[in-house]
Structure 1
């Protein structure tokens, strides 16, 4: 277990299907030499409730159980939304300015007692005067600013970074958990991710049928990455069921309770198999 670690999730949703289903897959290129773990496309209608625990509670019969109770005392799981910004996204602020506001809030939260911070942005909540593709780009660029500034702070030993795959290059990121800077760029990783993905054309398919946006909701194409100074890639591959990702071909995603229990394990909050 990776005790005394901190976790950060950058989670973006509300992406328009045409943008999210681009056949050219982009991902974070360099994750402090640990590499990419897998890909989790998650569609709102098909996966309704699977990520609901990220809001702070999971439903267990008629009782709501907090993350702290359920996942080994995972402390003060926080959730930051656009609404917590000093100005709403539609106020004409650039992606850079929005990102700077969020960076300050993220740093304060991680300097506190939180073990896991979830930063959630909805592309549809961005500037209402833009079309869906531009809203998605602004959402991702805002998260890019956060990742660029926060990763190298040194106070995050393990970073869970979830980003939508997108056809647009978002520029360069700065990585590293020991204060040293490593420069990486976003570019196509299809060769490296081949074992985790179905053919690109299946990105618009699910259970043998073509997805319908009205029926299935907007797409959330998520890249899962991890970093810890003392962990090897094998540690993360063993902790996260990459065989499941491979079988699913990247479709369907993890159930939230599985993902959160693995995260609590990696953060040193609970044993791998309970007990």
Structure 2
């Protein structure tokens, strides 16, 4: 899934069946191979990071193809043996999704830690959702949202009262593949940097880490263009310090 050389942007617009004009980014590997859609942003309807149709919600971050082709060597297994299966992601019960996530979490973090970024072990952090939920805007993956321990309030952040410097929000992901198996997905992160770092994007630094720890892109560094679109999508909620809401049915109750 990861290109060995920087990807080349080839298209930026498309329409959905809902006739809503979307901004989108497609990347083709420099070798001219597969085309991957990694960004899509709804310019019409406000909303949250949801499992609903793309045409009805705005985007939280970069997205990836809805399903991937994978061989058995990358498909995940239960600790007791046998491949983990998700035959119909849309009908998977929350408790079943949570069981799969529990089995994979340590493996996911082990992979992300290979990136060398200190914040990749997010397991002790506050988790905002009660169970993994499908985010169409992230390639129909099951995702989870965590935030490190800061004095800021995710639910009340505004443009005038933003999250404090040092706030880190991460979203890990699990992919359902065409065969019905399960594969670990990318980790998406955003970190609040000092004033002036990226004023157009609320001074958030975005990064995308692949399951094997490869850094796909980070704001101001390697692969900057690949994650720039994440900041552009979040301009829609600049009044909330560029933070999208989570779907209510999966939101963990505040303490």
Q: TM-score, normalised by structure 1?
A: 0.27
Q: TM-score, normalised by structure 2?
A: 0.28
